Amino acid sequence: MNDKAKIIAGLVVFLALFTAPFWINIATGQDWSRPNRVVEEEIARLRQDPGLPCALKQTDEERAQGLPNIEMTNRHMALLLEWRDEVVRDGDRTIPEWWQDRNGNPIVVHGRPLKKSLSDGCLVCHTKKKPGESEDKFCDVCHTYVEMEPYCWDCHVVP
């Protein structure tokens, strides 16, 4: 069989192309640990902000009473879709318990009461880079890392 060389060559090329995502990332020096670091930096930054009410400065144990971080990472999209359908389609703007302060009122941050909303809720604290900015902020880091940009930002502008 005289085709052996061609076949092996073809297999090598195929394997190279197939594994390309892996070795391209290694070659261009991706920082694998960046997302976790940015989340910790964000939490540290928020804790130091004098304008934030006590509820958001709680410790990890206290925060476990509400929605813990890892669950938020996994669930934030599902949560947003739930909120979206409840607010837009059902007109239900009642704030969930874990989003209220200790007295059952909306949490007030820098004078703004947090609503059941992306722009008027989550984004008041958790930063996202605005169009024209180059540095990735909180939301962007993970999303850039997984190369997945949700189209929410086409409409929901960053406050």
Contact residues for another protein, defined by CB under 8 A? 84, 88-89, 91, 93, 118-120, 130-131, 151, 153-159
Whether residue 48 contacts residue 133, with contact meaning beta carbons closer than 8 Å, is answered with no
- What backbone phi and psi angles, to 5 degrees, belong to 112? -105, 125
CA–centroid distance for 51 within its chain: 23
Closest to another protein by CB, 38 or 118: 118
- What backbone phi and psi angles, to 5 degrees, belong to 105? -100, 165
Closest to another protein by CB, 66 or 113: 113
Closest to another protein by CB, 62 or 92: 92
Min dist CB 121 to another protein, Å, is: 11
Closest to another protein by CB, 3 or 154: 154
Residue partners of 121: CB distance under 8 A and separation at least 6 = 83, 99, 114, 115
Min dist CB 152 to another protein, Å, is: 9
**Buried (b) or exposed (e) across 95-115, using 16+ Cβ within 10 A?**
beeebbbeeeeebebeeeebb
Min dist CB 52 to another protein, Å, is: 19
Dihedral Cα 34, 155, 134, 79, nearest 10 deg: -10
Min dist CB 18 to another protein, Å, is: 25
Min dist CB 15 to another protein, Å, is: 30
Closest to another protein by CB, 35 or 116: 116
